[in-house]
Each structure stands twice: as C-alpha cells, then as structure tokens.
Amino acid sequence: LPKVLSMGRQIASALAAAHNKGIVHRDVKLDNVMLVPDAEAAGGERIKILDFGIAKLAPASDVDGVRTSTHLIFGTPAYMAPEQCRGAGQVDDRADVYSLGIVLYELLVGRRPFLGSSSGELMGQHLFMEPPALAQMLPGVPAALDGLVAKLLCKDREQRPRMAEVARQLADLGELYNS
C-alpha cells in the first residue's frame, strides 16, 4: 500500500505539473509510467511519465484557423474516461484523473475495473457501467483510498477532483500509512 500510494502521488504530481502548463496527456496507463532508479528520491526510485504523443493543449484552441476535430477518439480504451470515449473534443485534464483512477485500481487489485474483448466493449463499460468498488475487490482497503479511487472514476467529470488535489490526498494517505 505505501508503495502504490507513493507511485500514485508521483504520477499525480507529474500530471498536475503538465496540467498547470495546459497539457492533457490523454493516454495515462501503466505502459506509460516508468519507475527509474534515483538515489535522491525517497525509496531510491522516481516515476517518469512517458509518451505525450497524443497529448493536447487544453482547452482545444483555434490556431491559424485549425481546430481539434471533435469526432476522433485518441487513447487506450482500457484506460479512457467516458468523455474521451465520446470523442477527442470533449477531453480536459479530468480525463487524466479518470485514467489515473484506472491505474491505481490496477496497481491495488491486480486488474483494471473494466475487462472486455474489444475496444467497443471497453468504451461501453466506461460510458455506462459503474466499476466494482475497490473495497469489494480488495477487502480491508482503507476507506479513504476507496473513496478517492471512486471519485477519480466518476462518470461525470465535474465530480472528479483536479490532479493537484489528487496528489495532495495521495500524499496525505502516504504519510498516514508510512507511519
């Protein structure tokens, strides 16, 4: 638990820094998170966020008369926020918050909350199904962490916290469970 909280806080902090610059990653997943040795970091390892290849500036801007297409879908379906499943034009920084919720769930439970055999099936689950509660999948998980992950996985992006708040909450939980 302390390792997952530390990793989650580092991921959230890095994404919050990107969000502060107006950059939305849009493909947050375990394959894009690297754990690298760093003697100066607590625990001797540091998180690096990789592959900003489909990142976008938020909000969609009209630069030289060119607008982001709103009917394209970018991302990895297993980790995509509901609004991202609907199309690229509706995505803001809270899509990364949702994806981080999927990553945390996977790190804690050992599998993602939604499983499917096709991209369409996965996107349908993100759009219309509630994920199994973390506490149901991992009995004994701290209630505060269960509640945080549930907030990250809210279908309504307006109900999700901003990434800087997620980083703060994960840091607080990390202090609680490291002591």
- d(CA 17, CA 167) in angstroms, rounded, equals 11
What are the catalytic residues?
27
- d(CA 153, CA 102) in angstroms, rounded, equals 7
Q: What's the farthest any 2 CA atoms get from each other in the chain? A: 54
DSSP state of 108: H
Total residues found in the chain within this entry:
179
pLDDT digits (tens, 9 = 90+) for 80-129: 999 999 886 678 999 999 999 999 999 999 999 999 999 999 999 999 99
CA angle 130, 134, 86 (to 5 degrees): 35
pLDDT value at 61 more than 50: no
Q: What is the helix (H) or strand (E) element at residue 57, kind and residue range?
A: strand 56-57
pLDDT value at 4 more than 60: yes
Closest CA to 160 of 147, 175, 143, 141: 147
pLDDT value at 68 more than 50: no
How confident is the model at residue 16, as a pLDDT? 98
How confident is the model at residue 65, as a pLDDT? 39
CA dihedral 14, 16, 18, 22 (to 10 degrees): 180
pTM, to two decimals:
0.88
